[in-house]
């Protein structure tokens, strides 16, 4: 099990050190600093073994968290614990920074004492922890006996994530569906792999111990139902999604899901992620981003980026922002764009192109001439992807595509609200292309190039990688008429200076291959309001 837990700042100074096991000595603190934090080369593995001691680390901003052990521990558990530890700390004091850690070190020690005993993780649900680990330094008498046993039974109980006796005047439940689409395209534009990973994030403000049920238009369930109701003519308008896999928050009764495919749970209070899912069927890209990169000599680069909106022309994308990374040795950029505004931001090493709104089935482009400083820097440019963000306002057509039976039944003595929130169609996922154009070979000379450099390396294959990411936020609010969607899309061209040679009269030939990879985040946010009757 975990033998010790250390927190360091970026310099490697230890901020928190808690040792749980006798086999971990003070020297372990230094071993990690010297071998990992101060190590010159990039860290090649999150697990390091130094002198038969294993170190697991994660980084949050510039803070290092390291768990140490000499035994054959469950490595997955250790990482899960470190993340959890970060969540708990964030829930108590916000961002994990050196400042915050130092300011709350007493609290952190108290937490570490509670959530890790002899290296075994204990209940680490913030909801429960906050009932008895507070920053006020409460005196023990303050709790009555009933309160005490209530705390302990909650900490150890079956529903460790929720305390009893929560009361709200208004019972509310908010549900966001956030989706991101991952897509890998071959240079020929063929989709190699695509999947949507979705998260259902909830905010619940419900009284008592509400028993909730959540339904999905999951293919297995829908098929079962339509088979059962086939006599009614089984409306074909009902669309279902084949979900490849899903994982649930620990409040969901897994055995019930396994047997009945029903998601039933007693929710934690406040924010939490109810489930994640993954699906690989019917993925449509909202935008296509086509980068064209041409190298003109060693000091010049021509970039053209075309975006095509791929959704219904009745829809409108708003606040589009395309970010095109530029090489580190860029000295100046000249930009022309058909629509919107484009600016070169030297501090961010990128061209930022903003378009206020764009309808579906349209296209627009930006072209840039990038001046480069001659450099002999051997470090290659990593060619980050082009990224894109946008919002879309779409009309939800919820009734057609969602299961109308999402029952939320907070069971309390006083209230018995019942809602039927409409979930927008999950297949509104949008896609985003990661483009990886490759190979531009141009052995031709460049007419206006300066004196040929005898030491120049031979012509190089040009490789471009473009990566597109789209974030789509669909926010159909049940009470509002016009839900809005935000999309983010990223894509990247990576120009690399190529060297032209000889023949002054021919323009550089180009043949570009593209591999595109798209990522889209679609956020579906049906906000449901349950009011107490």
Looking only at residues 384 through 403 of this chain, which bind another protein when binding is defined by CB under 8 A?
A: 384-385
Task: Kindly tell me which of 158 and 533 has the beta carbon lying closer to another protein.
Answer: 158
Q: Indicate whether 200 belongs to the interface with another protein (CB under 8 A).
A: no
Q: Which residues, 336 to 355, sit near another protein by CB under 8 A?
A: none
Walk across the sheet containing 63-69 and list its strands.
14-19, 4-8, 63-69, 53-60, 47-50
C-alpha 257/C-alpha 90 separation (Å) is: 31
The enclosing H or E element of 513 equals none
- CA–chain centroid gap for 3, Å, is 31
Strand 211-214 relative to strand 300-309, pairing:
unpaired
Work out whether 44 is an interface residue with another protein (CB under 8 A): yes
Position among 236, 376, 382, 481 found at the interface with another protein (CB under 8 A): 382
CB atoms within 10 A of CB 101: 22
CB nearer another protein, residue 248 or residue 353:
248
Q: Is 258 in the site for another protein (CB under 8 A)?
A: yes
Strand partners, 520: 181, 470
Binding segment for another protein (CB under 8 A), chosen from 118-126, 217-225, 336-344, 416-424, is 118-126
Rounded to the nearest 5 degrees, what angle is found at the Cα of 494, between the Cα atoms of 317 and 338? 40
Residue 246 within binding range of another protein, rule CB under 8 A: yes
* Residue 13 binds another protein, judged by CB under 8 A: yes
**Would you count residue 244 as binding another protein (CB under 8 A)?**
yes
CB of residue 292 to another protein, shortest distance in Å: 19
Q: Binders of another protein: how many residues, by CB under 8 A? A: 118
Check residue 376 for interaction with another protein (CB under 8 A). Answer: no
Binding test (CB under 8 A) with another protein, winner from 105, 170, 348, 480: 105
Binding residue for another protein, selected from 62, 193, 314, 482, defined by CB under 8 A: 193
Scanning residues 452 to 471, which ones bind another protein (CB under 8 A)? Answer: 457-458, 460-461, 463, 465, 467
Q: Cα–Cα distance between 466 and 519 in angstroms, integer?
A: 11
- Residue 494 CB, nearest approach to another protein (Å): 10
* CA atoms of 440 and 459, how far apart (whole Å): 10
Instruction: Give the one residue of 11, 26, 345, 395 binding another protein; rule: CB under 8 A.
Output: 26
Show the site string, 47-86: x = touches another protein by CB under 8 A, - = not: xxx--x-x-x-x----------xxxxxxxxx-xxxxx---
- The reply to whether 160 sits near another protein by the rule CB under 8 A is yes
Indicate whether 164 belongs to the interface with another protein (CB under 8 A): no
| 316 within 8 A of 386, measured Cβ to Cβ | no
Nearest to another protein of 280, 299 (CB atom): 280
Among 25, 121, 234, 445, binds another protein (CB under 8 A): 121
**Closer Cβ to another protein, 442 or 517, answer by number:** 517
Q: Count of residues for the chain? A: 533
Nearer to another protein, 229 or 439 (CB): 439
Q: How many angstroms separate the Cα of 352 from the Cα of each of 345, 361, 381, 383?
A: 7, 22, 19, 16
Residue 407 near residue 213 (C-beta atoms within 8 A): yes
- Identify each DSSP E strand in 141-286 by its residue range: 172-185, 191-205, 211-214, 245-248, 263-265, 270-279
Nearer to another protein, 224 or 312 (CB): 224
285-344: contacts with another protein (CB under 8 A): none
Question: What letters, b where the CB count within 10 A reaches 16 and e where it falls short, cover 35-59?
Answer: ebbeeeeeeeeeebeeeebbbbbbe
């Amino acid at each position: 099990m975990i033998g010790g837990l250390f927190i360091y700042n970026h310099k490697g100074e230890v901020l928190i050190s808690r040792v749980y096991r006798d086999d971990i000595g003070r020297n372990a603190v230094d071993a990690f600093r010297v071998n990992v934090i101060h190590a010159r080369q990039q860290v090649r593995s999150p697990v390091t073994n130094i002198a038969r001691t294993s170190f697991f680390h994660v980084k949050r901003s510039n803070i290092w968290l390291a768990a140490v052990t000499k035994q054959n521990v469950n490595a997955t558990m250790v990482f899960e614990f470190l993340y959890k530890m970060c969540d708990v700390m964030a829930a108590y004091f916000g961002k994990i920074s050196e400042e915050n850690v130092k300011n709350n070190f007493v609290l952190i020690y108290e937490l570490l004492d509670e959530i890790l005993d002899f290296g075994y993780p204990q209940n680490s649900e913030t909801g429960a922890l906050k009932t008895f680990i507070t920053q006020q330094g409460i005196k023990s008498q303050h709790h009555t006996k009933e309160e005490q046993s209530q705390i302990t039974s909650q900490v150890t109980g079956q529903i460790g994530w929720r305390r009893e006796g929560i009361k709200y005047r208004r019972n509310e439940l908010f549900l966001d569906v956030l989706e991101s689409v991952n897509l890998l395209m071959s240079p020929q534009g063929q989709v190699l792999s695509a999947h949507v990973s979705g998260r259902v994030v909830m905010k619940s403000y419900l009284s008592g111990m509400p028993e909730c049920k959540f339904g999905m238009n999951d293919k297995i369930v829908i098929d079962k139902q339509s088979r059962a109701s086939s006599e009614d003519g089984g409306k074909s308008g009902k669309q279902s999604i084949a979900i490849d896999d899903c994982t649930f928050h620990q409040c969901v009764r897994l055995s019930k899901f396994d047997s009945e495919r029903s998601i039933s749970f007693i929710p934690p209070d406040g924010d939490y992620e109810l489930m994640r899912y993954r699906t690989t069927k019917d993925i449509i890209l909202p935008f296509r981003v086509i980068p064209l990169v041409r190298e003109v000599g060693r000091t010049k680069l021509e970039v053209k980026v075309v975006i095509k909106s791929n959704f219904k022309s009745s829809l409108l994308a708003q606040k589009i922002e395309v970010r095109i990374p530029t090489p580190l040795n860029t000295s100046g950029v000249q930009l022309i764009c058909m629509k919107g505004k484009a600016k070169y931001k030297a501090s961010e090493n990128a061209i930022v192109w903003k378009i206020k709104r764009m309808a579906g089935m349209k296209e627009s482009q930006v072209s840039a001439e990038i001046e480069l400083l001659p450099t002999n820097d051997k470090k290659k440019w990593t060619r980050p992807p082009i990224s894109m963000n946008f919002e879309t306002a779409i009309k939800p057509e919820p009734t057609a595509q969602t299961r109308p039976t999402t029952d939320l039944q907070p069971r309390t003595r006083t209230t018995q609200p019942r809602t039927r929130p409409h979930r927008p169609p999950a297949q509104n996922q949008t896609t985003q292309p990661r483009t990886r154009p490759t190979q531009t070979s141009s052995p031709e000379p460049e007419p206006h190039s300066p004196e040929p450099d005898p030491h120049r390396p031979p012509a190089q294959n040009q490789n471009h990688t473009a990566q597109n990411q789209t974030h789509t936020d669909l926010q159909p609010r049940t009470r509002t008429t016009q839900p809005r969607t935000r999309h983010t899309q990223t894509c990247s061209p990576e120009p690399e200076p190529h060297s032209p040679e000889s023949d002054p009269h021919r323009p550089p030939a180009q043949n570009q291959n593209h591999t595109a990879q798209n990522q889209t985040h679609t956020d579906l946010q049906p906000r449901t309001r349950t009011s107490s009757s």
